[in-house]
Structure 1
C-alpha cells in the first residue's frame, strides 16, 4: 500500500471535522481507496493521507485533485503534499 500525504497547517478541529465529513460523503474517496486522518493537536498539524494499492495510482491521483478542491472550499492551505515515487 502507498499513500499521498497532505499536511494541513493552521486547521482547527471544527474545520478538520467538516473536511472529514465532506471526504467521507464523496464517492471519489470510496474503496479501494482509504483515507487516514490525523486531527490537529497542540504542536502537531492536521494530516490526511490517501491510501491506495499501486494498481490504483490513477484513481488516487484523481482523488488527490478532488481533495484539493474540498480543502479550497474550506479555505485550507495545503502546507505540503507527499506523493510516493515523485521527487
Structure 2
C-alpha cells in the first residue's frame, strides 16, 4: 500500500513500567491490532509518560478506529485513564 501512515496516539500519564508492559502484551496478542495496522510503543521514562500509537494507511481508517475503541477497553481494564488521544483529521 502506498502513502504515508497516519496514527492515533494515546498518551498514558500515570502508567508505570509494569502496567505499560501488561497493556502492550494485551495489545500484541489481540487480533484487533493485526496487520495492516501497526502499534508503535514508547515506554514511560522518568518524567515522560508512555505512548501507544496505532499507525495506519488512510484506507484502513475504519479498522484503526475499531482498534482505538479496543485499546480504550484494554486501558480501562488495567485501571488507566485515557489522558490524551490525538486522531489525525479529527
| TM-score, shorter chain, exceeding 0.5 | yes
Structure 2 equivalent of residue 76 of structure 1: 80
RMSD: 0.4
1:43 offset after TM fit, Å? Answer: 1.2
**Equivalent position SS for 1:5:** strand
Cα distance in structure 1, aligned partners of 2:32 and 2:47? 31
1:22 offset after TM fit, Å? Answer: 0.2
Q: Does 2:55 match 1:51?
A: yes
Give unpaired runs (5+ residues) of structure 1. Answer: none
**Equivalent position SS for 1:21:** helix
Give unpaired runs (5+ residues) of structure 2. Answer: none
Cα offsets for 1:13-60 (capped at 9, x unmatched): 000000010000000000000000000001110000000000000000
- Segments of 4+ in structure 1 off by > 6 A? none
Structure 2 equivalent of residue 7 of structure 1: 11
Cα distance in structure 1, aligned partners of 2:39 and 2:72? 14
User: TM-score, length-normalised on structure 1?
Assistant: 0.98
Cα distance in structure 2, aligned partners of 1:74 and 1:47? 15
Number of aligned residue pairs = 86
1:78 offset after TM fit, Å? Answer: 1.1
